[in-house]
Amino acid sequence: MSSKKRTGVFVCHCGNNIAATVDVAKVARVMATEDSVVYSEDYVYMCSDPGQKAVIEAIKKNQLDSVVVTCCSPNLHEKTFRDNAQAAGLNGFTCEIANIREQCAWVHKDRNVATAKAIKISRSAVRRASRNQALEPIGIGVTRRVLVIGGGIAGIQAALDLANAGLEVVLVEKQATLGGHMIQLSETFPTLDCSQCILSPKMVEVSRHPKIKLMTYSEVKEVTGYVGNFKVNILKKPTYVDPEACKLCDDCTQVCPVMVPNQYELGLTARRAIHIPFAQAIPASYTLDIDACLGLNPVRCGKCKDVCEAGAIDYDMLPRTVTEEVGAIVVATGFDLYGQDNLGEYGHGKIEDVLDGLQFERLCSASGPTRGKVLRPSDHSEPKDVVFIQCAGSRDPAQHCAYCSKICCMYTAKHASLYKHHVPDGRAWVFYIDIRSGGKGYEEFVQRTMETDETIYLRGRVSRLYQENGKIRVLGTDTLSGQNVEIDADMVVLALAMTPSKGTAEAAKVLKIGRDKDGFLAEAHPKLKPVESVTAGIFLAGTAQGPKDIPETVAQASAAAAKVIGLLSQPRLTHAPTVAKVRAAHCTGCEMCVDACPYDAIHLENGKAVVNAVLCEGCGTCQSTCLRAAIEVKNATLLQMNEMIEAVLGY
Amino acid sequence: MSEQTPYEPRIVAFLCKWCSSAGSDLAGVSRIQYPANATPITVACSGGVSPQYILSALRKGADGVLVSGCHIGDCHYMEGNMHARRKLYLVKELLEFAGVEPERFRMSWVSAAEGAKFAQVVRDFVEDLRPLGPQDKLNAERP
Amino acid sequence: MGDNIYLPQLARVAHIKEEVAGERAIKTFRLEFDNGGGFEHECGQCAMLSIFGRGESMISIASSPLIRDYKQFSIMRVGRVTSAFHELAVGDVVGIRGPYGNSFPVDAWRGKNLVFIGGGCGLAPIWPVIQTAVAQRADFREITVFYGGRSPRDIMYRAELEKLRGAVDVHLSVDKAEEGWDAFCGFVPANLMAKQPAPDNAIAITCGPPIMIKYVIENLRSLGFKDEQIYTTIENKMKCGLGKCGRCNVGKDYVCVKGPVYSWAELKELPAEY
Amino acid sequence: MIDLNALRTQAADILETGEVGAVIGWRRGSRGMAAEPVAIVAPEEAASLVWDPTCFHNLALYLVEERKKPAQRQVHGGKPIAIVAKGCDARAVTVLLQENHFGRDDVYVIGVSCEGTGVLDERKLAQVLPGVEPDGAAFDGDNFVFATSEGERRVPAREAMMDRCLECRNAHPKLNNVVFGEETPRDFDAPFAALKRFEQRPAAERWQFWQRQFERCIRCFACRSVCPMCYCDECVVDSINLVVTPETTAAEKADRVRWIERSASRADNIGYHMTRALHLAGRCVDCGECERVCPVNIPLRLLNNKMEREAREAFGYEPGASIDLPALVASFRDDDPGQFIR
Amino acid sequence: MEALLDKNRLKDWIAALDGWEAYAPARQDGIWSYQPAGDNPELNHPNTPQPPKGFAFPQREIFFKFEQVKGEAPRLTAVSPAPTFRVVFGVRPCDGRAVPRMDRVFSDHVDDGYYQARRDGLAYVGLACNTPPSRHCFCQSVGGSPVSTDGLDVLLTDLGERYFVAAVTDTGKALMQAAGALLAKPGAAERKEVARLHAAAVAQPQRGVNDAAAAPAKLKAGFDSPLWEELARACIGCGICTFLCPTCHCFDINDEVTGTVPLKGSRVRTWDSCQFPDFTMHSSGHNPRDTLGSRLRQRVSHKFRYFHENFGMHQCTGCGRCVSECPVGIDIVRVVNEIAGSV
Ligand SMILES: Cc1cc2nc3c(=O)[nH]c(=O)nc-3n(C[C@H](O)[C@H](O)[C@H](O)COP(=O)(O)OP(=O)(O)OC[C@H]3O[C@@H](n4cnc5c(N)ncnc54)[C@H](O)[C@@H]3O)c2cc1C
Ligand SMILES: Cc1cc2nc3c(=O)[nH]c(=O)nc-3n(C[C@H](O)[C@H](O)[C@H](O)COP(=O)(O)OP(=O)(O)OC[C@H]3O[C@@H](n4cnc5c(N)ncnc54)[C@H](O)[C@@H]3O)c2cc1C
Ligand code: SF4
Ligand code: SF4
Ligand code: SF4
Ligand code: SF4
Ligand code: SF4
Ligand code: SF4
């Protein structure tokens, strides 16, 4: 770059579209007076075949090294003319478009005024072009493997879709088994088919799939790299049981002296320190819960190890960190229920017979703690009056979650209906605010619950409930009749809000992807990119992104899988080279750009900002944030912007 | 600038590429007429508009500066306009504080579908600037 | 107001030659004055060159005073103004004022051996002396030129140096060995030690990067050169060139007036602020 | 009341034990009664440290790279540097930590609480005690006590205190390794009082005011030099601290934008001060030093205060409150004000 | 030529100075500075933070304007200061003594026409310091005095209700002649009173440089003293001490572009400061004075050694501004004394 730029300017008449209002010849003439311009002409249709040829010819003949076409919106012909520049042996990024049609000729009538404005627009493009660098697109190799985080239905579905498309998948699940929340459900609305029955085969398929590497009891600890090239460190926690050797004989649990609440049964039952979450768990193996165990010391206990004939128990098992390389990541870390203890008005979770939805699912489940009988946890009696409270924690911006959890109306209807099937002489009340039953067959399902199953729906909120004489007194209002309602219930079931799981928060942190105001993972665009995260190469599936039911979860999981398949089907990814670049000498490492970059494309190295060109989208936020003008986007530098401002002001 | 030509405010308009510039294109396609006082400079994102650009434009004699981007929530870069909103709020406050007419700096959200709105934003801006006369406070008209 | 000492004359770029390419490229510019302008100069003097809108830079006049038709400057691209110079084309007009500074006492050196030691861009300031000495070859005894660059591509005035051979002893060097280079490999001061010029009746004139000058002077002294026999130039930052703006001063001297040419004997007396 | 001897002992102790390599504090100067900043490296020097109403300097400045050098040169083995810090100074250290200027372990903050007063404004004193040039100043409860040739003069602190101290919200350094003095309730002007008064004035009057101020600026850059947050190697608005490293390319130098000129003209001065105000938004801790040092009395605090108030009221952002906070302009909230946008 | 002037007739004298623009210190926005003399100038000012040096050496001076159309030669238009006659009232003797020093700089080697043109039309009416205007003054130790007339055209001495007006130069005489009947003839009593006041002023205790005459040699000997860094430790590297010094004259020259189509702009001189790190920095990044200590040494040595070596006088007039206005109290008197004392 040791000599001045040789810029060519091509002013298009666009037939009469431009020429009728703008004196194109004058524009061309004035552009010739620009310092860097060595060639300037106007032509009737620049984008026509002869027009394009003329551009190419002129570039060659005049040894131009940069080009400005002043014509229509860059959305229309930027590519055309960049290709022309390329055809003439230039780098496409040396070509700039000045839009004097949509932004000028078409919106003004006065010829002098429009011409003056066209000159300003063209001039600013010339100034910019005269400082453009030739840039080459950034090519990125891709690793054709995928990491799926979370082994609920979302993760399972995504993993299967990906693996069936021939991609290698690493599926990481935090718990000792696959299945997520869906495996805890008894029947599923609106068809009331058995949840386990439809999920278990998929779990088995995952465990057997040759392309899927299943890592349960594992957590993703660190992710580095970028789209196509992530490096992932996964911590595999020790289960102390060798799944290969374990014969599932259950001898160990018989001797284990420790009892702790069973999470899978949501505390409705207890389990031993060594346990299998449930019979159909995948992988089918026992896990020793080290937090509950008396100590991995044969002197202190060691009973399970003694009893295990298969010799599957190994107290010396250590946590292992596995590094995997993947090209894309699907995050399916699911939801948690809004804790009952958050709800003071409903007893802070301290009233034994106030249950949450999942607990009720377990009560209804044939494999559940009560073998499918609906019994009160406190005295194992059959509850005759059951109150279901919807929106427990949802739609309450003042106190709890502002959003609608979307599925509660449906599962409450399901619960009421299941209850009535189990206890036909019982009475079921549902407190609701609205019934939201959009979905195939959903509205009909609710209607059936009301009519066929004779559930009493009360529109209103429950203000308080408390225990009295072995009953739970529920105080509420029926806003339709305006009456206060008091019910002495045997059992209350809260349809708790769906919140992002703790694991989702952890994953977001590790992956450095954004979360929305409610803590769910943020999609890149609410409408057009609902399964993309803000970071290229990281996709979202299931309830980690927002409340949804199983069909929606599955659909999103498959969509995410399709996106990944699309991404990884390219042999190389390319990335626009108009990315930020740091002036190391000026950078003080204050990290403001790091914080501001929407793509986490910047990090510090030896106290200086460094841009990961593959992640940078060239938005310029860093450029406007850095106090020291130490970071600039290529071909949109501060100098270029400033010279464009000058040009626009005729300065 | 000769004496007899009536005062025409000079406006530098920073338009984000994805929404506002596209919106101005739509105004064009729809042939919606508006004053020619605002000359556009297309930037990737309103979030990339440095306060320095605004000061620089005023220093070089702009009578008004417009920054226009995507509506909140629609930013192509997710949150660029949120950054713009905060940063440029400060610029606006500062100018006003120093006694510079607040009308000289304007921000708007114009989507790609809002051609008519874009035209209106420019029209309004020009109308609001006209009574103020040339901007001579930050302008470096040197002897 | 009398003579405006800050107002440059205009001069036209008549010829441009690329000496050295790369990040710190060097180009030589031949400037011609229009109708009767211009000024006379002596070996070692400088001029303030300007590109309007960019600023001014002090540059040594690299052509011999004997040449009156034009003045020549070799400029290394290092910053704001010099980059603008590198963008010039033949026919462009720049500003020039001068001449500034003192000069090499060439007349006093007649009848002596001259040893020139240059490095990098540092050939430019001593080039007029070499040219003058060669033009008046009979007035001087042995003339030796040591010059080195980082690599063969960094050797400026390559063709001119080759042309000197015969009249002058030319010893070129490059810092690092490279294919096709059969002269000395190593730094200029080392080349000097390898060739061991004799101090008797000799004057050594050195110019180049500060660190090179430091070692050259050490080596010259170890070869037996007296402080008074060693000459160099110092290039402090300058803005006015007229002994007023204050930034080039070293001790009581404004280098733009009292310098840039100093014998080592004089320079030793000044604070080492250059 | 701060026990100066305890402070000195503390300084001596940490130097003695080698916990720090230097202590930056104040000692008696030769410019009248004013204290002067000093960096001590030997325990015995601790006896020269002082704490009085003339300790107005924000010493955090000396933790900044270039200015740190003289002190650092004497610190062996890269030991931490200790700094005596008032409430505002400690906030400045916090911002520097926030911006990675150094690590928390590199600095040892000896907090001094201004308790119920603050530091002296010499310009006010000249009005309060015209013609008197005291030889020394000391704290005494709510008063400043001045030693003069005619004996002691007692002045209620609030009459001669810096404006910044009158509006101070955090006179007790929150960030500290050790702190001297009490966290005393203060009862002076409400924060931003002067600012609010100024804002009441009509726009034209505000402009008249600022125009005069800006035209007066001589661009000596003392306001920037004294500011701990203006630590940039090269200020964007001016090349006074030109970053030239061997790696800096000619193109990098040539392509540097000159947003404003070096001339101290109105437009350029405004360019400088507006840029600086914006750069200090969310970073200025209201130590008021820029205003104090300005030789031509430009009320710079007003500008910074304005930005600080906006940061607080519009964005809920408190500069110097936490090391972990992202910078004001590098972050946003969903509910940032947007009513001004059409 | 000597005379008496009623203090309240000062304004009339100013009014009588036909063809002269008059300036006097005024307090505005809390500080004293030289302003166009208002209706009723009172010379009761302390030392103004800014000396009157800007009258002859303004902070910004346009040398010439340039304009260049693409493909054509640039057109240069020299800008000369308009010839004006300006008289500055109330100049303190230390600032008066700065005048010949500045004159030397701008006429040494070659004449600086811009300075000269402004200087030619300037007259300084000084005011003797009956009482020290600041506790930081040290004029006497650097060869000055609170009643020095050096560099002034007229010296006023405050006699309470009246000024004792004494012409120093021909210009001063002309100024006084213009006053005509406003001036009264002084009697012996007044002369005696002036002599008394002057003697008293000189007798006022002042701090000072210990042995200014020895300073050049001492500073030379102490050039490599580690004390320099020590003394500069608190320095923040601002430009106050130099910008406010009546004798500091360093400047920068820059092109200010005011338009690009066609290229338009001016070449401009602005004050600069040896305390700024880039003042001496070479384009390579090498900086001959790269520490605060070396820059302090330059400032002090220039004033007390180099200037003396070149012109036989110190460049410091003891106004004390660099001491009183320095944000951190770097004290040139202490610096000279400590360095001198260390060798
Ligand atoms: C009471 C109730 C009844 C419901 N009934 C129905 C119904 O009848 N019909 C219907 O369609 N929907 C129903 N749903 C909704 C349904 O449960 C969800 O749509 C579905 O389970 C969501 O699946 P998921 O994979 O997104 O999340 P999850 O099932 O929560 O799975 C997430 C998985 O990720 C794992 N994980 C979390 N964090 C990490 C991490 N950091 N690393 C590794 N692994 C991690 C978790 O351990 C878990 O296994 C009901 C929900 C509730 C609460
Ligand atoms: C006696 C003498 C002889 C010399 N001879 C030669 C020679 O023969 N050949 C040669 O190549 N060199 C020579 N030099 C060196 C030459 O003068 C410098 O390399 C040249 O001045 C660098 O100018 P620059 O503008 O390119 O560099 P820069 O480093 O960009 O700028 C130098 C000056 O411009 C100012 N500046 C730059 N950017 C800005 C900005 N953004 N804002 C404000 N100010 C800015 C700086 O403050 C600095 O003062 C000589 C120097 C001297 C003193
Ligand atoms: S914001 Fe600027 S100075 Fe700070 S780290 Fe980023 S590039 Fe460096
Ligand atoms: S241009 Fe945008 S995406 Fe790229 S580094 Fe800067 S802030 Fe990040
Ligand atoms: S300290 Fe005052 S005069 Fe100096 S630059 Fe700052 S505002 Fe201007
Ligand atoms: S004004 Fe801004 S760029 Fe300049 S020194 Fe301060 S923070 Fe840095
Ligand atoms: S000595 Fe004082 S006034 Fe001078 S640069 Fe240093 S701090 Fe600033
Ligand atoms: S050096 Fe200081 S005391 Fe001396 S004249 Fe300058 S400002 Fe005044």
Contact pairs from chain A to chain D, CB under 8 Å: 68
What is the CA(E140)–ligand 8 centre distance, in A? 13
Mutate to test the pocket of ligand 2, among C17, C61, C81 (most ligand atoms within 8 A of CB): C81
Contacts of A6 (CB under 8 A, 6+ apart): A36, A38, A39, A62, A63, A64, A65, A66
For helices B20-29 and B115-129, give the axis angle rounded to 10 degrees. Answer: 100
Q: What is the bridge-based pairing of β-strands A483-489 and A471-478? A: antiparallel
D334 interfacial to chain A (CB closer than 8 Å): yes
What is the CA(A616)–ligand 4 centre distance, in A? 5
Please check whether residue B138 lies inside any domain of the structure: no
DSSP assignment string, A9-57:
EEEE-TTTTTTTTS-HHHHHHHHHTSTTEEEEEEES-TTSHHHHHHHHH
Cβ A579 vs Cβ A636: under 8 Å: no
pLDDT at D76: 57
> Which residue among C72, C100, C128 closes a domain?
C100
Please check whether residue A433 lies inside any domain of the structure: yes
Q: Are A593 and D330 within 8 A, CB to CB?
A: yes
Domain with residue C23: its CATH number is: 2.40.30.10
Using CB atoms, which residue from A517, A584, A625 is nearest to D247? Answer: A584
Task: Tell me: do C69 and C121 sit in the same domain.
Answer: no
Taking chain B, what is the end-to-end CA distance rounded to the nearest angstrom? 16
The DSSP call for residue D121 is -
pLDDT at D74: 57
H helix intervals, A237-334: 251-255, 303-307
Task: Find chains touching chain D: ≥3 CB pairs under 8 Å.
Answer: A, B, C, E
Identify the closest residue of chain E to B60 by CA–CA distance: E258
Please check whether residue C166 lies inside any domain of the structure: yes
**Which residues in chain C show pLDDT less than 50?**
none
Please check whether residue C19 lies inside any domain of the structure: yes
Domain with residue A18: its CATH number is: 3.40.50
User: How many separate domains does chain C show?
Assistant: 2
Identify the closest residue of chain B to D308 by CA–CA distance: B90
Please check whether residue C17 lies inside any domain of the structure: yes
Residue E326: CB within 6 Å of ligand 7?
yes
Partners of residue A583 in chain D, C-beta under 8 Å = 252
Q: Which long-range contacts (CB under 8 A, 24 or more apart) does E332-337 make?
A: E332/E241, E332/E299, E332/E300, E332/E303, E333/D30, E333/E138, E333/E141, E333/E207, E333/E208, E333/E209, E334/D30, E334/E231, E335/E231, E335/E296, E335/E300, E336/E209, E336/E210, E336/E215, E336/E219, E336/E300, E336/E304, E337/E209, E337/E210
**Would you place residue B2 in the very low, low, confident or very high pLDDT band (cuts 50, 70, 90)?**
very low
What is the CA(A410)–ligand 1 centre distance, in A? 15
pLDDT at B1: 44
A2 interfacial to chain C (CB closer than 8 Å): yes
Please tell me the residue having the least CA distance from ligand 8 atom 7.
Answer: E245
Ligand 8, atom nearest to E299 Cα: 1
- Farthest-apart Cα atoms in chain E, separation: 75
Please tell me the residue having the least CA distance from ligand 4 atom 4.
Answer: A616
Ligand 8, atom nearest to E323 Cα: 2
pLDDT in tens, D162-180: 999 999 988 999 999 999 9
Please check whether residue C253 lies inside any domain of the structure: no
Q: Are B41 and A534 within 8 A, CB to CB?
A: no
Interface of D with E in 52-71 (CB under 8 A): 57, 61-62, 66-67, 69-71
Task: Find chains touching chain B: ≥3 CB pairs under 8 Å.
Answer: A, D, E
Nearest to A413 by CA among A461, A458, A445, A375: A445
Q: How far apart are CA C126 and CA C62, in angstroms?
A: 7
pLDDT in tens, D242-256: 778 888 889 888 999
**Would you place residue D65 in the very low, low, confident or very high pLDDT band (cuts 50, 70, 90)?**
low
Please check whether residue B4 lies inside any domain of the structure: no
Ligand 1, atom nearest to A551 Cα: 11
Interface of A with E in 119-138 (CB under 8 A): 123
Task: Tell me: do A161 and A304 sit in the same domain.
Answer: no
Task: Tell me: do C120 and C218 sit in the same domain.
Answer: yes
A172 interfacial to chain B (CB closer than 8 Å): no
Task: Tell me: do C55 and C122 sit in the same domain.
Answer: no
Please check whether residue C44 lies inside any domain of the structure: yes
Q: Are E260 and A33 within 8 A, CB to CB?
A: no
pLDDT in tens, D96-145: 999 999 899 999 999 999 988 999 999 999 889 988 889 999 999 889 99
Given a cut of 80, whether residue D239 has pLDDT beyond it is no
Cβ D86 vs Cβ D55: under 8 Å: yes
Please check whether residue B82 lies inside any domain of the structure: yes
Please tell me the residue having the least CA distance from ligand 4 atom 6.
Answer: A622
The DSSP call for residue A394 is S
Q: With touching defined as 3+ CB pairs under 8 A, do chains B and A touch? A: yes
Q: Model's pTM, two decimal places?
A: 0.84
Q: Which domain holds residue B88?
A: 11-114+121-131
User: How many separate domains does chain B show?
Assistant: 1
What is the CA(D335)–ligand 1 centre distance, in A? 31
Residue D226: CB within 6 Å of ligand 5?
no
pLDDT at B142: 44
Cβ E190 vs Cβ E31: under 8 Å: no
Task: Tell me: do A206 and A291 sit in the same domain.
Answer: no
Please check whether residue C207 lies inside any domain of the structure: yes
What is the CA(E300)–ligand 7 centre distance, in A? 12
Q: How far apart are CA A158 and CA A330, in angstroms?
A: 8
Domain with residue C201: its CATH number is: 3.40.50.80
Partners of residue A2 in chain C, C-beta under 8 Å = 18, 21, 25, 27, 77, 86-87
**Which residues in chain E show pLDDT less than 70?**
none
Interface of B with E in 104-143 (CB under 8 A): 140, 142-143
Residue A383: CB within 6 Å of ligand 1?
no
What is the CA(B16)–ligand 4 centre distance, in A? 15
pLDDT in tens, B54-63: 999 999 999 9
Q: Which domain holds residue C24?
A: 9-100
Q: How far apart are CA B29 and CA A312, in angstroms?
A: 74
Across chain D, mean pLDDT equals: 91
Using CB atoms, which residue from C23, C24, C79 is nearest to D254? Answer: C79
Please check whether residue B2 lies inside any domain of the structure: no
Q: How far apart are CA E299 and CA E210, in angstroms?
A: 18
Q: Which domain holds residue A452?
A: 335-499
Q: What would the mean pLDDT of B102-126 be, rounded to a whole number?
A: 96
Please check whether residue A645 lies inside any domain of the structure: no
Q: Are C78 and D253 within 8 A, CB to CB?
A: yes
For tokens 């025409």, name the residue. B8
Our CA-based measurement puts residue D240 at a distance from the nearest CA of chain E, in whole angstroms, of 6
Please check whether residue B68 lies inside any domain of the structure: yes
Given a cut of 60, whether residue D202 has pLDDT beyond it is yes
Task: Tell me: do C221 and C118 sit in the same domain.
Answer: yes
pLDDT at D233: 84
Q: How far apart are CA A217 and CA A93, in angstroms?
A: 50
Nearest to A495 by CA among A437, A413, A566, A588: A413
Our CA-based measurement puts residue A514 at a distance from the nearest CA of chain B, in whole angstroms, of 10
Ligand 7, atom nearest to E242 Cα: 4
CB environment A622-648: b (16+ within 10 A), e (fewer): bbbbbbbbbbbbbbbbbbbbbbbbbbb
What beta strand segments (E) does A110-178 contain? 138-141, 145-149, 168-172
Task: Tell me: do A339 and A329 sit in the same domain.
Answer: no
Task: Tell me: do A449 and A387 sit in the same domain.
Answer: yes
Task: Tell me: do A14 and A156 sit in the same domain.
Answer: no
Our CA-based measurement puts residue C228 at a distance from the nearest CA of chain E, in whole angstroms, of 23
**Which residues in chain A show pLDDT less than 70?**
1-3, 298-299
Task: Tell me: do A167 and A210 sit in the same domain.
Answer: yes
Q: Which long-range contacts (CB under 8 A, 24 or more apart) does A548-553 make?
A: A548/A406, A548/A407, A549/A189, A549/A406, A549/A407, A549/A410, A549/A439, A550/A153, A550/A182, A550/A188, A551/A439, A553/A152, A553/A153, A553/A154, A553/A157
Please check whether residue A644 lies inside any domain of the structure: no
Using CB atoms, which residue from A123, A643, A651 is nearest to E259? Answer: A651
Q: How far apart are CA A158 and CA A180, in angstroms?
A: 14
Task: Tell me: do C140 and C196 sit in the same domain.
Answer: yes
Task: Tell me: do C131 and C66 sit in the same domain.
Answer: no
pLDDT in tens, E209-253: 999 999 999 999 999 999 999 899 899 999 999 999 999 999 999
Please check whether residue C262 lies inside any domain of the structure: no
CB atoms closer than 10 angstroms to residue A168? 18
Q: Are C53 and E257 within 8 A, CB to CB?
A: yes
Partners of residue E266 in chain B, C-beta under 8 Å = 142
Residue E245: CB within 6 Å of ligand 8?
yes
> Which residue among C100, C134, C163 closes a domain?
C100
Task: Tell me: do C119 and C217 sit in the same domain.
Answer: yes
Identify the closest residue of chain E to C243 by CA–CA distance: E109
Q: With touching defined as 3+ CB pairs under 8 A, do chains E and A touch? A: yes
Task: Tell me: do A346 and A407 sit in the same domain.
Answer: yes
What is the CA(B18)–ligand 1 centre distance, in A? 37
Please check whether residue A650 lies inside any domain of the structure: no
pLDDT in tens, E62-74: 999 999 998 889 9
DSSP 3-state of B133: coil
Task: Tell me: do C150 and C34 sit in the same domain.
Answer: no
Ligand 6, atom nearest to D237 Cα: 4
**Would you place residue B143 in the very low, low, confident or very high pLDDT band (cuts 50, 70, 90)?**
very low
Q: How far apart are CA A374 and CA A230, in angstroms?
A: 48
Task: Tell me: do A350 and A488 sit in the same domain.
Answer: yes
Please check whether residue C152 lies inside any domain of the structure: yes
Nearest to E275 by CA among E254, E291, E253: E291
Task: Tell me: do C214 and C112 sit in the same domain.
Answer: yes
Task: Find chains touching chain A: ≥3 CB pairs under 8 Å.
Answer: B, C, D, E
> Which amino acid is residue A536, in one-letter code?
A
**Would you place residue D160 in the very low, low, confident or very high pLDDT band (cuts 50, 70, 90)?**
very high
Q: What is the ipTM of this complex?
A: 0.92
Q: Could you give the percent of chain A with pLDDT greater than 90?
A: 85
Given a cut of 90, whether residue D68 has pLDDT beyond it is no
Nearest to A280 by CA among A376, A182, A188, A348: A182
Please check whether residue A182 lies inside any domain of the structure: yes
